[in-house]
Protein backbone atom coordinates (compact mmCIF):
# COMPACT_ATOMS: atom_id res chain seq x y z
CA UNK A 1 0.00 0.00 0.00
CA UNK A 2 1.52 3.34 -1.09
CA UNK A 3 2.26 6.16 1.36
CA UNK A 4 0.10 8.51 -0.73
CA UNK A 5 -2.86 6.19 -0.26
CA UNK A 6 -2.34 5.97 3.51
CA UNK A 7 -1.86 9.72 3.86
CA UNK A 8 -4.96 10.54 1.79
CA UNK A 9 -7.25 8.60 4.13
CA UNK A 10 -5.27 9.34 7.29
CA UNK A 11 -4.26 5.70 7.80
CA UNK A 12 -1.23 4.65 9.80
CA UNK A 13 -1.40 1.20 8.20
CA UNK A 14 -3.53 -0.76 5.75
CA UNK A 15 -6.88 -1.49 7.48
CA UNK A 16 -7.81 -4.44 5.28
CA UNK A 17 -4.59 -6.34 4.82
CA UNK A 18 -5.09 -10.08 4.28
CA UNK A 19 -2.33 -11.31 6.60
CA UNK A 20 -3.64 -12.34 10.07
CA UNK A 21 -2.72 -9.44 12.39
CA UNK A 22 -3.89 -9.90 15.99
CA UNK A 23 -3.99 -6.11 16.46
CA UNK A 24 -6.92 -6.15 14.01
CA UNK A 25 -8.69 -9.14 15.58
CA UNK A 26 -12.45 -8.53 15.60
CA UNK A 27 -14.23 -10.26 18.47
CA UNK A 28 -17.49 -11.38 16.86
CA UNK A 29 -19.81 -13.67 18.83
CA UNK A 30 -18.44 -16.71 17.00
CA UNK A 31 -14.78 -15.73 17.46
CA UNK A 32 -15.39 -14.91 21.11
CA UNK A 33 -16.84 -18.38 21.56
CA UNK A 34 -13.70 -19.92 20.06
CA UNK A 35 -11.43 -17.93 22.38
CA UNK A 36 -13.53 -18.94 25.37
CA UNK A 37 -13.27 -22.58 24.30
CA UNK A 38 -9.48 -22.33 24.05
CA UNK A 39 -9.32 -20.67 27.46
CA UNK A 40 -11.52 -23.43 28.88
CA UNK A 41 -9.18 -26.11 27.54
CA UNK A 42 -6.19 -24.27 28.99
CA UNK A 43 -7.78 -23.95 32.43
CA UNK A 44 -9.37 -27.41 32.60
CA UNK A 45 -6.40 -29.31 31.11
CA UNK A 46 -8.73 -31.45 29.02
CA UNK A 47 -7.18 -33.24 26.06
CA UNK A 48 -8.64 -32.16 22.71
CA UNK A 49 -10.30 -29.12 21.14
CA UNK A 50 -11.34 -28.83 17.49
CA UNK A 51 -12.14 -25.54 15.72
CA UNK A 52 -13.63 -25.79 12.24
CA UNK A 53 -14.69 -23.13 9.77
CA UNK A 54 -14.93 -22.38 6.07
CA UNK A 55 -11.91 -20.76 4.38
CA UNK A 56 -11.56 -17.09 5.29
CA UNK A 57 -13.66 -17.17 8.47
CA UNK A 58 -10.69 -16.29 10.72
CA UNK A 59 -9.44 -19.59 12.16
CA UNK A 60 -5.74 -18.70 12.01
CA UNK A 61 -6.10 -15.19 13.46
CA UNK A 62 -8.21 -16.64 16.30
CA UNK A 63 -5.53 -19.12 17.35
CA UNK A 64 -2.85 -16.42 17.01
CA UNK A 65 -4.91 -14.12 19.23
CA UNK A 66 -5.09 -16.90 21.83
CA UNK A 67 -1.34 -17.48 21.63
CA UNK A 68 -0.61 -13.74 21.89
CA UNK A 69 -2.19 -13.53 25.33
CA UNK A 70 -0.81 -16.73 26.85
CA UNK A 71 0.89 -16.78 30.25
CA UNK A 72 4.59 -17.61 30.43
CA UNK A 73 4.02 -21.14 31.72
CA UNK A 74 2.67 -22.39 28.36
CA UNK A 75 4.82 -23.81 25.57
CA UNK A 76 3.54 -25.10 22.26
CA UNK A 77 4.49 -26.73 18.98
CA UNK A 78 2.72 -25.12 16.01
CA UNK A 79 2.34 -27.41 12.98
CA UNK A 80 1.31 -25.43 9.89
CA UNK A 81 1.74 -27.95 7.05
CA UNK A 82 0.33 -31.17 8.49
CA UNK A 83 0.19 -33.49 5.47
CA UNK A 84 2.62 -35.73 7.34
CA UNK A 85 3.06 -39.39 8.19
CA UNK A 86 3.03 -40.29 11.92
CA UNK A 87 6.86 -40.36 12.00
CA UNK A 88 7.11 -37.03 10.15
CA UNK A 89 4.62 -35.49 12.57
CA UNK A 90 6.70 -36.61 15.57
CA UNK A 91 9.82 -35.10 13.98
CA UNK A 92 7.94 -31.84 13.30
CA UNK A 93 6.67 -31.66 16.91
CA UNK A 94 10.10 -32.32 18.38
CA UNK A 95 11.68 -29.72 16.09
CA UNK A 96 9.09 -27.06 16.96
CA UNK A 97 9.56 -27.70 20.68
CA UNK A 98 13.28 -27.09 20.08
CA UNK A 99 14.32 -30.63 21.02
CA UNK A 100 17.67 -31.75 19.63
CA UNK A 101 17.30 -34.94 17.61
CA UNK A 102 20.18 -37.31 16.75
CA UNK A 103 21.16 -37.23 13.10
CA UNK A 104 20.63 -40.96 12.55
CA UNK A 105 17.22 -42.27 11.49
CA UNK A 106 15.10 -43.03 14.57
CA UNK A 107 12.18 -45.41 14.97
CA UNK A 108 8.72 -44.06 15.83
CA UNK A 109 8.99 -45.63 19.29
CA UNK A 110 12.28 -43.80 19.94
CA UNK A 111 10.81 -40.48 18.79
CA UNK A 112 7.79 -41.08 21.04
CA UNK A 113 10.10 -41.80 23.98
CA UNK A 114 12.13 -38.60 23.42
CA UNK A 115 8.92 -36.54 23.32
CA UNK A 116 7.55 -38.17 26.48
CA UNK A 117 10.76 -37.49 28.42
CA UNK A 118 10.67 -33.86 27.29
CA UNK A 119 7.03 -33.46 28.36
CA UNK A 120 7.63 -34.99 31.78
CA UNK A 121 10.58 -32.66 32.37
CA UNK A 122 8.53 -29.61 31.36
CA UNK A 123 5.66 -30.66 33.64
CA UNK A 124 8.11 -30.76 36.56
CA UNK A 125 8.94 -27.14 35.71
CA UNK A 126 5.24 -26.25 35.95
CA UNK A 127 4.75 -25.83 32.19
CA UNK A 128 1.60 -26.51 30.16
CA UNK A 129 2.31 -28.09 26.78
CA UNK A 130 0.16 -27.73 23.65
CA UNK A 131 0.35 -29.14 20.15
CA UNK A 132 -1.50 -26.88 17.68
CA UNK A 133 -2.18 -28.18 14.17
CA UNK A 134 -3.44 -25.65 11.62
CA UNK A 135 -5.10 -26.79 8.36
CA UNK A 136 -5.66 -30.09 10.17
CA UNK A 137 -8.11 -31.30 7.50
CA UNK A 138 -4.95 -32.28 5.57
CA UNK A 139 -3.83 -34.75 8.25
CA UNK A 140 -3.87 -38.37 7.03
CA UNK A 141 -6.13 -40.64 9.11
CA UNK A 142 -3.18 -42.61 10.48
CA UNK A 143 -1.58 -39.35 11.67
CA UNK A 144 -4.82 -38.27 13.35
CA UNK A 145 -4.75 -41.62 15.13
CA UNK A 146 -1.17 -40.92 16.22
CA UNK A 147 -2.34 -37.65 17.79
CA UNK A 148 -4.98 -39.58 19.73
CA UNK A 149 -2.25 -41.86 21.09
CA UNK A 150 -0.16 -38.81 22.03
CA UNK A 151 -3.12 -37.45 23.97
CA UNK A 152 -2.90 -40.53 26.23
CA UNK A 153 0.43 -39.33 27.62
CA UNK A 154 -0.05 -38.57 31.30
CA UNK A 155 1.51 -38.82 34.75
CA UNK A 156 -0.28 -40.27 37.75
CA UNK A 157 -1.77 -36.83 38.41
CA UNK A 158 -2.35 -35.07 35.09
CA UNK A 159 -2.12 -35.08 31.32
CA UNK A 160 1.21 -34.18 29.78
CA UNK A 161 -0.19 -32.67 26.62
CA UNK A 162 -3.18 -30.83 25.16
CA UNK A 163 -4.00 -30.76 21.46
CA UNK A 164 -5.73 -28.11 19.32
CA UNK A 165 -6.87 -29.02 15.79
CA UNK A 166 -7.92 -26.20 13.43
CA UNK A 167 -9.31 -26.87 10.00
CA UNK A 168 -12.02 -26.71 7.38
CA UNK A 169 -15.31 -28.67 7.70
CA UNK A 170 -13.72 -31.79 6.16
CA UNK A 171 -11.76 -32.14 9.42
CA UNK A 172 -14.97 -32.91 11.31
CA UNK A 173 -15.80 -35.59 8.74
CA UNK A 174 -12.40 -37.23 9.27
CA UNK A 175 -12.77 -37.14 13.04
CA UNK A 176 -16.23 -38.71 12.82
CA UNK A 177 -14.73 -41.63 10.93
CA UNK A 178 -12.41 -42.40 13.88
CA UNK A 179 -14.65 -43.42 16.76
CA UNK A 180 -11.99 -43.50 19.47
CA UNK A 181 -10.68 -40.07 18.49
CA UNK A 182 -14.20 -38.60 18.31
CA UNK A 183 -14.83 -39.69 21.90
CA UNK A 184 -11.73 -37.82 23.07
CA UNK A 185 -12.83 -34.45 21.68
CA UNK A 186 -13.81 -32.28 24.65
CA UNK A 187 -14.90 -29.21 22.68
CA UNK A 188 -15.81 -28.73 19.02
CA UNK A 189 -16.41 -25.14 17.91
CA UNK A 190 -17.68 -24.05 14.52
CA UNK A 191 -16.65 -20.58 13.35
CA UNK A 192 -19.51 -18.81 11.59
CA UNK A 193 -19.66 -15.98 9.08
CA UNK A 194 -20.40 -12.48 10.35
CA UNK A 195 -23.98 -11.22 10.53
CA UNK A 196 -24.95 -8.05 8.64
CA UNK A 197 -24.61 -6.00 11.82
CA UNK A 198 -21.22 -7.58 12.54
CA UNK A 199 -20.04 -6.78 9.00
CA UNK A 200 -20.71 -3.08 9.63
CA UNK A 201 -18.99 -3.21 13.02
CA UNK A 202 -16.07 -5.16 11.51
CA UNK A 203 -15.47 -2.59 8.77
CA UNK A 204 -15.68 0.39 11.15
CA UNK A 205 -13.47 -1.37 13.70
CA UNK A 206 -10.68 -1.98 11.19
CA UNK A 207 -10.91 1.56 9.84
CA UNK A 208 -10.60 2.87 13.38
CA UNK A 209 -7.67 0.58 14.23
CA UNK A 210 -5.81 1.83 11.16
CA UNK A 211 -5.99 5.37 12.59
CA UNK A 212 -8.65 6.70 10.26
CA UNK A 213 -10.97 9.59 11.01
CA UNK A 214 -12.00 10.69 7.50
CA UNK A 215 -13.48 7.64 5.73
CA UNK A 216 -17.24 7.22 5.86
CA UNK A 217 -19.08 4.21 4.45
CA UNK A 218 -22.78 4.35 3.59
CA UNK A 219 -25.40 1.80 4.65
CA UNK A 220 -25.97 0.86 1.01
CA UNK A 221 -22.27 0.13 0.60
CA UNK A 222 -22.25 -2.04 3.74
CA UNK A 223 -25.30 -3.96 2.51
CA UNK A 224 -23.51 -4.57 -0.78
CA UNK A 225 -20.37 -5.81 1.01
CA UNK A 226 -22.49 -8.18 3.09
CA UNK A 227 -24.26 -9.56 -0.01
CA UNK A 228 -20.99 -10.12 -1.88
CA UNK A 229 -18.99 -11.55 1.02
CA UNK A 230 -21.76 -13.46 2.81
CA UNK A 231 -20.03 -12.29 6.01
CA UNK A 232 -16.66 -13.95 5.29
CA UNK A 233 -13.92 -11.73 6.83
CA UNK A 234 -11.29 -12.49 4.17
CA UNK A 235 -13.67 -11.50 1.36
CA UNK A 236 -14.71 -8.36 3.24
CA UNK A 237 -11.03 -7.35 3.40
CA UNK A 238 -10.54 -7.92 -0.32
CA UNK A 239 -13.69 -6.00 -1.27
CA UNK A 240 -12.96 -3.07 1.04
CA UNK A 241 -9.33 -2.80 -0.09
CA UNK A 242 -10.42 -2.49 -3.73
CA UNK A 243 -13.25 -0.10 -2.81
CA UNK A 244 -10.83 2.20 -0.97
CA UNK A 245 -8.47 2.09 -3.96
CA UNK A 246 -11.37 3.08 -6.22
CA UNK A 247 -12.23 5.98 -3.91
CA UNK A 248 -8.57 7.04 -3.77
CA UNK A 249 -8.34 7.19 -7.57
CA UNK A 250 -11.37 9.51 -7.57
CA UNK A 251 -10.07 11.45 -4.55
CA UNK A 252 -13.18 10.62 -2.51
CA UNK A 253 -13.35 9.75 1.19
CA UNK A 254 -16.97 8.56 1.29
CA UNK A 255 -17.36 4.91 0.28
CA UNK A 256 -20.63 4.36 -1.54
CA UNK A 257 -22.31 1.47 -3.35
CA UNK A 258 -20.60 2.44 -6.63
CA UNK A 259 -17.16 1.81 -5.07
CA UNK A 260 -18.24 -1.63 -3.89
CA UNK A 261 -19.54 -2.46 -7.36
CA UNK A 262 -16.20 -1.39 -8.86
CA UNK A 263 -14.46 -3.67 -6.33
CA UNK A 264 -16.81 -6.50 -7.37
CA UNK A 265 -15.84 -6.08 -11.01
CA UNK A 266 -12.14 -5.80 -10.17
CA UNK A 267 -12.23 -9.03 -8.14
CA UNK A 268 -14.56 -10.77 -10.62
CA UNK A 269 -16.97 -11.64 -7.80
CA UNK A 270 -20.52 -12.92 -8.11
CA UNK A 271 -23.31 -12.75 -5.57
CA UNK A 272 -23.58 -15.99 -3.55
CA UNK A 273 -26.27 -18.27 -4.95
CA UNK A 274 -29.43 -18.79 -2.96
CA UNK A 275 -32.81 -17.25 -2.44
CA UNK A 276 -35.82 -16.97 -4.77
CA UNK A 277 -36.12 -14.08 -7.22
CA UNK A 278 -39.81 -13.15 -7.33
CA UNK A 279 -39.50 -11.49 -10.74
CA UNK A 280 -38.63 -14.86 -12.30
CA UNK A 281 -41.66 -16.70 -10.84
CA UNK A 282 -44.53 -17.80 -13.01
CA UNK A 283 -48.07 -17.60 -11.61
CA UNK A 284 -48.08 -21.40 -11.15
CA UNK A 285 -44.81 -21.36 -9.19
CA UNK A 286 -46.01 -18.45 -7.07
CA UNK A 287 -49.24 -20.25 -6.15
CA UNK A 288 -47.31 -23.43 -5.34
CA UNK A 289 -44.97 -21.53 -3.00
CA UNK A 290 -47.95 -19.75 -1.41
CA UNK A 291 -49.78 -23.05 -0.78
CA UNK A 292 -46.68 -24.77 0.60
CA UNK A 293 -45.99 -21.76 2.82
CA UNK A 294 -49.53 -21.97 4.19
CA UNK A 295 -49.13 -25.68 4.93
CA UNK A 296 -45.79 -25.01 6.64
CA UNK A 297 -47.35 -22.24 8.78
CA UNK A 298 -50.32 -24.38 9.86
CA UNK A 299 -48.09 -27.34 10.67
CA UNK A 300 -45.83 -25.21 12.85
CA UNK A 301 -48.84 -23.51 14.47
CA UNK A 302 -50.26 -26.92 15.43
CA UNK A 303 -46.91 -28.20 16.69
CA UNK A 304 -46.42 -25.10 18.83
CA UNK A 305 -49.58 -25.68 20.83
CA UNK A 306 -48.97 -29.42 20.95
CA UNK A 307 -45.52 -28.95 22.48
CA UNK A 308 -46.82 -26.29 24.87
CA UNK A 309 -49.25 -28.86 26.29
CA UNK A 310 -46.72 -31.67 26.58
CA UNK A 311 -43.48 -31.24 28.50
CA UNK A 312 -42.48 -34.76 27.61
CA UNK A 313 -42.79 -34.05 23.87
CA UNK A 314 -40.77 -30.87 24.34
CA UNK A 315 -37.94 -32.82 25.99
CA UNK A 316 -37.95 -35.49 23.28
CA UNK A 317 -37.73 -32.84 20.57
CA UNK A 318 -34.98 -31.02 22.46
CA UNK A 319 -32.87 -34.17 22.60
CA UNK A 320 -33.26 -35.28 18.99
CA UNK A 321 -30.26 -33.23 17.87
CA UNK A 322 -27.41 -35.62 18.66
CA UNK A 323 -25.31 -35.32 15.58
CA UNK A 324 -22.47 -33.41 17.29
CA UNK A 325 -21.76 -31.37 20.40
CA UNK A 326 -20.35 -28.19 18.92
CA UNK A 327 -20.83 -25.16 21.18
CA UNK A 328 -23.40 -22.68 19.81
CA UNK A 329 -22.32 -19.09 19.33
CA UNK A 330 -25.72 -17.98 20.68
CA UNK A 331 -25.62 -20.21 23.75
CA UNK A 332 -26.25 -18.08 26.84
CA UNK A 333 -25.48 -20.81 29.36
CA UNK A 334 -22.39 -20.46 31.49
CA UNK A 335 -19.49 -21.71 29.37
CA UNK A 336 -17.74 -23.64 32.12
CA UNK A 337 -20.86 -25.70 32.87
CA UNK A 338 -21.45 -26.83 29.29
CA UNK A 339 -19.76 -30.18 29.62
CA UNK A 340 -21.87 -31.44 32.51
CA UNK A 341 -25.09 -29.44 32.19
CA UNK A 342 -28.02 -31.09 34.01
CA UNK A 343 -31.28 -31.54 32.10
CA UNK A 344 -34.45 -32.25 34.08
CA UNK A 345 -36.29 -35.39 33.01
CA UNK A 346 -38.88 -37.39 34.91
CA UNK A 347 -36.85 -40.61 34.45
CA UNK A 348 -33.56 -38.99 35.49
CA UNK A 349 -31.94 -38.96 38.90
CA UNK A 350 -30.38 -35.52 39.19
CA UNK A 351 -27.46 -35.08 41.56
CA UNK A 352 -26.49 -31.74 43.04
CA UNK A 353 -23.42 -33.39 44.53
CA UNK A 354 -20.11 -33.23 42.71
CA UNK A 355 -18.02 -36.24 41.73
CA UNK A 356 -14.76 -37.10 40.04
CA UNK A 357 -15.89 -38.99 36.95
CA UNK A 358 -14.14 -42.01 35.46
CA UNK A 359 -15.40 -41.95 31.86
CA UNK A 360 -15.49 -45.03 29.66
CA UNK A 361 -17.43 -45.18 26.37
CA UNK A 362 -19.55 -42.26 25.11
CA UNK A 363 -22.28 -42.69 22.50
CA UNK A 364 -25.38 -40.83 21.21
CA UNK A 365 -27.43 -44.05 21.70
CA UNK A 366 -28.78 -44.87 25.15
CA UNK A 367 -29.30 -48.51 24.13
CA UNK A 368 -25.67 -48.80 23.05
CA UNK A 369 -24.52 -47.22 26.32
CA UNK A 370 -26.67 -49.71 28.24
CA UNK A 371 -25.10 -52.67 26.42
CA UNK A 372 -21.57 -51.37 27.11
CA UNK A 373 -22.47 -50.79 30.77
CA UNK A 374 -23.80 -54.34 31.17
CA UNK A 375 -20.73 -55.79 29.44
CA UNK A 376 -18.31 -53.79 31.61
CA UNK A 377 -20.19 -54.63 34.81
CA UNK A 378 -20.05 -58.32 33.91
CA UNK A 379 -16.28 -58.19 33.36
CA UNK A 380 -15.43 -55.99 36.35
CA UNK A 381 -18.09 -57.13 38.81
CA UNK A 382 -18.62 -53.46 39.75
CA UNK A 383 -21.61 -51.14 39.54
CA UNK A 384 -21.34 -48.47 36.82
CA UNK A 385 -23.60 -45.58 35.83
CA UNK A 386 -24.90 -44.06 32.62
CA UNK A 387 -24.63 -40.25 32.58
CA UNK A 388 -26.26 -37.81 30.21
CA UNK A 389 -23.57 -35.40 28.92
CA UNK A 390 -22.97 -32.69 26.32
CA UNK A 391 -26.32 -30.93 26.83
CA UNK A 392 -28.16 -34.25 26.80
CA UNK A 393 -26.91 -35.29 23.37
CA UNK A 394 -24.62 -38.12 24.50
CA UNK A 395 -24.60 -40.92 27.06
CA UNK A 396 -21.45 -41.94 28.92
CA UNK A 397 -20.72 -45.11 30.80
CA UNK A 398 -18.92 -43.94 33.94
CA UNK A 399 -18.02 -44.55 37.57
CA UNK A 400 -18.32 -41.81 40.19
CA UNK A 401 -15.96 -41.00 43.06
CA UNK A 402 -15.90 -38.66 46.00
CA UNK A 403 -12.27 -39.63 46.60
CA UNK A 404 -10.03 -38.63 43.67
CA UNK A 405 -7.17 -40.92 44.77
CA UNK A 406 -9.45 -43.97 44.72
CA UNK A 407 -10.54 -42.93 41.23
CA UNK A 408 -6.90 -42.79 40.08
CA UNK A 409 -6.24 -46.31 41.38
CA UNK A 410 -9.39 -47.64 39.74
CA UNK A 411 -8.48 -45.90 36.47
CA UNK A 412 -5.29 -47.94 36.11
CA UNK A 413 -6.93 -51.16 37.20
CA UNK A 414 -10.10 -50.85 35.10
CA UNK A 415 -8.29 -49.63 31.95
CA UNK A 416 -6.30 -52.83 32.07
CA UNK A 417 -9.18 -55.09 33.10
CA UNK A 418 -11.64 -53.71 30.56
CA UNK A 419 -8.99 -53.14 27.87
CA UNK A 420 -10.29 -49.59 27.47
CA UNK A 421 -7.33 -47.32 26.75
CA UNK A 422 -9.63 -44.32 26.21
CA UNK A 423 -10.90 -44.33 29.81
CA UNK A 424 -9.97 -41.18 31.75
CA UNK A 425 -10.65 -39.53 35.10
CA UNK A 426 -11.69 -35.86 35.30
CA UNK A 427 -9.26 -33.55 37.03
CA UNK A 428 -12.08 -31.71 38.81
CA UNK A 429 -15.34 -32.72 40.49
CA UNK A 430 -18.55 -32.06 38.53
CA UNK A 431 -22.29 -32.20 39.10
CA UNK A 432 -23.73 -35.07 37.09
CA UNK A 433 -26.97 -36.25 35.58
CA UNK A 434 -27.40 -39.94 36.31
CA UNK A 435 -29.72 -41.67 33.87
CA UNK A 436 -29.18 -45.18 35.20
- The domain limits of the chain are 3-13+196-267, 29-190, 278-309, 335-434
Flag whether pLDDT at 317 surpasses 50: no
Flag whether pLDDT at 347 surpasses 50: no
State percent of the chain over pLDDT 90. 34
Average pLDDT score over residue span 26-52:
87
pLDDT band of 1, cuts 50, 70, 90: low
pLDDT tens digits, 193-247? 999 999 999 999 999 888 866 788 999 999 999 999 999 999 999 999 999 999 9
Confidence (pLDDT) at 298: 53
Average pLDDT across the chain, whole number: 79
Lowest mean pLDDT among 172-186, 254-268, 332-346: 332-346
**What's the burial of 327, exposed, middle or buried (CB within 10 Å: 0-12/13-18/19+)?**
buried
Q: Where are the alpha helices (DSSP H) in 250-349?
A: 257-267, 283-308, 311-318
pLDDT tens digits, 364-392? 778 888 888 888 888 888 899 998 876 66
pLDDT band of 7, cuts 50, 70, 90: confident
Sheet holding 74-79, edge to edge: 74-79, 128-133, 162-167, 48-52, 185-190, 326-327
Give the span between the Cα atoms of 145 and 79, in whole angstroms: 16
Average pLDDT score over residue span 348-372:
76
Neighbour count for residue 373 (Cβ, 10 Å): 21
The phi, psi pair for 434, rounded to 5°, reads -90, 120
What pTM was computed for the model? 0.61
Task: Give the alpha-carbon dihedral of 305, 308, 309, 311, to 10 degrees.
Answer: 150
Flag whether pLDDT at 305 surpasses 90: no
Give the span between the Cα atoms of 126 and 120, in whole angstroms: 10
SS3 312: helix
Flag whether pLDDT at 329 surpasses 70: no
Answer CATH for 29-190 from 3.40.50.970, 3.30.200.20, 3.40.190.290, 3.40.50.300: 3.40.50.300
Flag whether pLDDT at 105 surpasses 70: yes
Average pLDDT score over residue span 131-146:
92
pLDDT tens digits, 272-303? 754 333 334 344 444 444 455 555 545 554 54
Confidence (pLDDT) at 283: 41
Neighbour count for residue 89 (Cβ, 10 Å): 26
Contact indicator for 414, 398 with CB cutoff of 8 Å? no
Domain 3-13+196-267 matching CATH 1.20.1630.10: the answer reads no
Flag whether pLDDT at 393 surpasses 70: no
Average pLDDT score over residue span 132-154:
90
Give the span between the Cα atoms of 199 and 233, in whole angstroms: 8
Amino acid sequence: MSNNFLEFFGFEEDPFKITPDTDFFFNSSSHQESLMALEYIYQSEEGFIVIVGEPGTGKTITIRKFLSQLPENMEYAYILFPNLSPEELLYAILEDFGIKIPTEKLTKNKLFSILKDFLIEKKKEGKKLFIIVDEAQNLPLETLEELRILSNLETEKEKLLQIVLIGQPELEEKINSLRQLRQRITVLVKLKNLSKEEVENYINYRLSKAGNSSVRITKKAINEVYKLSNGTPRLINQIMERALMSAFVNQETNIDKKHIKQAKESLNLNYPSGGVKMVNLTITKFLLIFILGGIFFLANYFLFFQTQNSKETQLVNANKENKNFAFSANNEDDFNNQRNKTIVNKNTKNSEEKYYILYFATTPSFEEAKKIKEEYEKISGEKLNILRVQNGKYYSVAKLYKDKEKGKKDLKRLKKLLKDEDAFLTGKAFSVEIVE
